[in-house]
Structure 1
Amino acid sequence: MEWLREHPEVKTIRIAAADLNGVARGKRLPARFADKVMTEGTKFPYSVLNLDIWGEDIEDSPLVFESGDPDGMLMPTERGFLPMPWLDAPTALLPLWMFHPDGRPYEGDPRQALARVVERYDAAGLVPVVATELEFFLIDDSGRTLRVPPSPRSGKRRTGGEVLSLRALDAFDQFFTSLYDACESMDIPADTAISEAGPGQFEINLMHQADPLKAADDTWMFKNMVKGVARQYGFAASFMAKPYEAWSGNGMHMHFSILTKDGTNIFDNGGDEGTAALRHAVAGCLRAMPGSTLLFAPHENSYDRLVPNAHAPTGIGWAYENRTAAIRIPSSGPKARRIEHRVAGGDVNPYLTVAAILGAALNGLEDKLEPPAPFKGNAYDKQLAQLPGDWQQAIDAFAECPDIKRIFPAHLVENYLMTKRQELHYMAELSDEETVELYLETV
């Protein structure tokens, strides 16, 4: 409440939690009622965190008619109030997560799922350090065809991709200045911005931090913030996996290392190859990868990105300093030895993605798994086991994966399966244009 007292200009607040698709679900209320939410929380139906991508109930879900659609209790996260500078009126966001009325965490909440994984690390005396890299497109969606928006500086449209182009960044300098100002005000540690391979495509890195929940919070809020700031400038920002058929899609790469409680990196052996613990973590990620693909590629459009020679991994393998690999060990100083997981698209729920990757790595550490030898060269030319090739295969692999059952509570797994099966069924009715319209800003 101190933040609100310091910002008397804020008259309305948004209270919101992430559903299984990462969509923000919540309420608007006058700021004068904020104290009640802070102390008593608020109520949403449990089913609200388990809606499909259209925002519809899941048919035959036990959370709806069978149980009378009961309420869960939403309480503020440790983040507290944050400004929403992309809105016209001064407004604050209060992030929430869900509990049962008796105080138990609700197992269908994706943030609670990540907290459960973090608790496993804490019990093992370990601290994961996490960073995410997010790619997105700036898009003029005002016409029938998606196009690069005109530069606010020059009024001109650039029609091609320009990797690491300062000119492409400078064309949207005002937008990026507003974006970084918003990140600063929301305590989101945005670092480097670069232009990417697609037209109007950019990537921003969020800094490493030894708090996976905050890293996932930052990623979730960053996605919502980028979309909001873009609309201030008259265009859309999209994390959709593949908005343009002819260009590479959007990824969300995740870097992580694991420390002991005294700050020692368990992947660091003083050399380039890393420790046995690094190999165990890699092996855990590889073993869980087929079953985790539904979390890394959660939508129909996600599978348009996961094709050979399109800067997204298709094979299940690992390598040192090789961006064709699903798991890359970047070159770095030994103390910064880390794993980069490159499978997830920009359209993911960050809580579920971070939980899946960290959970798989911990499974590998606990089981002392050994990976196959790292490969060299082009992963697309290797005889590697492949990721599930389409949405149905990924749903089946998720349902059958022992690692998924070990990482996530059964309630969340069943809810997620019901959600994706319903979406798979109804997506068959949509045209390509309707698919783009659905996903463009929703994910």
Structure 2
Amino acid sequence: MKNWLRKHPQVRTIRVAAADLNGQPRGKRVPVRFADAVVENGTRFPMSVLNLDIWGEDIEDSPLVFDSGDADGVLKPTERGFMPMPWLDAPTALLPIWMFRENGKPYEGDPRHALARVIGRYKARGLTPVCAMELEFFLIDDSGKKLQVPLSPRSGKRRKAAEIMSIRALDAFDTFFTDLYDACEAMDIPADTAISESGLGQFEINLMHTDDALRAADDAWLFKMLVKGLARRHGFAASFMAKPYADYSGNGLHTHFSVIDADGENVFDNGGHDGSEMLKQAVAGCLAAMHDSTLIFAPHANSYDRLVPEAHAPNAICWAYENRTSALRIPSGNPRARRIEHRVAGGDVNPYLLLAAILGAALTGIEDGLTPPAPITGNAYALDLPLLPDTWEEAIGIFEKSEIMARIFPAEMIRNLVMTKRQEHHYMEELTPEEKVELYLDTV
């Protein structure tokens, strides 16, 4: 890590940052001459900082604040090391960190540790999840009272219609996307294909698969930070909020995953179209946990505006082969690449909690030898199927009491997240719709 800074002498300051429960980067600015001390010894800040609400306020009555004296955690660099922050004017490096207790044990309220805990359960069985994420976002001109598509730097015009998989829509913002891909390369974020989506000024970029689930979540967390920062540098906003426009589809964050054994073989592959018994067990586990884990997939008030029928977001608990109306889709193609696509989550999620919930649910299905119901055919919106919770308040209560979530997440994580979301729910009632959009546009 120290060598990276020596190879980049133009860097004058660093940021050390960890993800809180909402996926917000929390940390410090440090002069580069003190960077070696951070690498060697870590840094410190209160454990309560990873458990702030969406406004960045303490959680009222949290045992992490006054009851414990607002005690510090010790934050150490992750394996990722230093990387540039291309959206800032001054040459700056980011050092991702995660939190430990004073005795060296992981802090169970850190979302990255929640994912590491699930990965450890896979490793104990000689298994490794392979993950890839697809992230949707909107480019938005938020300079006026009404959100709209930014003016194209090329034409000076404002397209006011969705353009699904339009090359013209991509080319309209060619300078932004060129800078974005250059920045992804500099930050070692494996950005692959970009397409225009069905929303107004909406795009999707796929991140390449990896057999390191922590890295996959890192990539998504860093990508969201980069896209939002770089868009502002180009004079407009980029937002991953679930539903910025009532009349258009919202932002999803689709997760593809398979599982390999100690020999590197895909355990979901049986050589045919249907997939292996273990694939079906993983499907069954994901379905069994889906209702209770909705709070992870839809963590904010605005999230539930997306989960409505016929809006390109699933609201029913089901699975299918090659069917994008289902919550779980098994893509076709080469059997060696057989995988599950989990389509429920919005773009506003915390990627660490999302992967922990998905992979943890799949593993419970494998551990328990579960059998899924028959896959659906046709339009899932038109079928009589069990539904996800349709309100934020209901999802919070279900998550808190869930036996399945208690198998995936530590008790402290569940407590902290529930307290956070209850506080947000309470104060969100005081906001107008316009104030909610303003809050979520830049944060999530």
Q: TM-score, normalised by structure 1?
A: 1.00
Match of 1:221 in 2: 222
Q: Secondary structure at the match of 2:257?
A: strand
Q: Secondary structure at the match of 1:44?
A: strand
Match of 1:48 in 2: 49
Q: Secondary structure at the match of 2:417?
A: helix
Offset, 1:183: 0.4
Indicate yes or no: 2:409 matched with 1:408: yes
Offset, 1:102: 1.2
Q: State the alpha-carbon separation in 1 of the partners of residues 393 and 104 from structure 2.
A: 36
Q: State the alpha-carbon separation in 1 of the partners of residues 11 and 153 from structure 2.
A: 29
Paired AA for residue 264 in structure 1: E
Q: State the alpha-carbon separation in 2 of the partners of residues 433 and 392 from structure 1.
A: 21
Match of 2:298 in 1: 297
Q: State the alpha-carbon separation in 2 of the partners of residues 360 and 22 from structure 1.
A: 21
Offset, 1:423: 0.5
Match of 1:352 in 2: 353
Offset, 1:146: 0.4
Offset, 1:401: 1.4
Q: State the alpha-carbon separation in 2 of the partners of residues 368 and 397 from structure 1.
A: 24
Indicate yes or no: 2:119 matched with 1:112: no
Indicate yes or no: 2:317 matched with 1:311: no
Q: Secondary structure at the match of 2:178?
A: helix
Q: Write the mapping of 1:36-435 to structure 2, written as runs, cut at 5 A.
A: 36-435=37-436
Q: State the alpha-carbon separation in 2 of the partners of residues 153 and 24 from structure 1.
A: 33
Query: Which digits, 9 at most, give the CA deviation of each residue in 1:169-223, with x for residues without a partner?
Result: 0000000000000000011000000000011100000001000000000000000
Paired AA for residue 305 in structure 2: D
Paired AA for residue 347 in structure 1: D
Q: Secondary structure at the match of 1:440?
A: helix
Query: Which digits, 9 at most, give the CA deviation of each residue in 1:60-106, with x for residues without a partner?
Result: 00000111100000000010000001100000000000000111000
Q: Secondary structure at the match of 1:218?
A: helix
Paired AA for residue 176 in structure 2: F
Q: State the alpha-carbon separation in 2 of the partners of residues 281 and 50 from structure 1.
A: 31
Q: State the alpha-carbon separation in 2 of the partners of residues 118 and 141 from structure 1.
A: 40
Q: State the alpha-carbon separation in 2 of the partners of residues 265 and 156 from structure 1.
A: 48
Sequence identity, in percent? 71
Q: Secondary structure at the match of 1:304?
A: helix
Q: Write the mapping of 1:3-18 to structure 2, written as runs, cut at 5 A.
A: 3-18=4-19
Q: State the alpha-carbon separation in 2 of the partners of residues 410 and 199 from structure 1.
A: 40
Q: What's the C-alpha RMSD, in Å, of the aligned pairs?
A: 0.4
Q: State the alpha-carbon separation in 1 of the partners of residues 436 and 188 from structure 2.
A: 34
Q: State the alpha-carbon separation in 1 of the partners of residues 200 and 426 from structure 2.
A: 32
Q: Secondary structure at the match of 1:138?
A: strand
Q: Secondary structure at the match of 2:193?
A: strand
Count the aligned residue pairs: 443
Q: Which runs of 5 or more structure 2 residues have no equivalent in the other structure? A: none
Q: State the alpha-carbon separation in 2 of the partners of residues 279 and 382 from structure 1.
A: 21
Q: State the alpha-carbon separation in 1 of the partners of residues 216 and 307 from structure 2.
A: 25
Paired AA for residue 178 in structure 1: D
Offset, 1:152: 1.0
Paired AA for residue 225 in structure 2: N
Q: TM-score, normalised by structure 2?
A: 0.99
Q: Which contiguous aligned blocks of 4+ residues in structure 1 show a shift greater than 4 angstroms? A: none
Paired AA for residue 230 in structure 1: A
Q: Secondary structure at the match of 2:28?
A: strand
Q: State the alpha-carbon separation in 1 of the partners of residues 95 and 283 from structure 2.
A: 36
Offset, 1:397: 1.3
Paired AA for residue 75 in structure 2: L
Q: Secondary structure at the match of 2:292?
A: helix
Query: Which digits, 9 at most, give the CA deviation of each residue in 1:96-140, with x for residues without a partner?
Result: 000001110000000000000000000010010000000000000
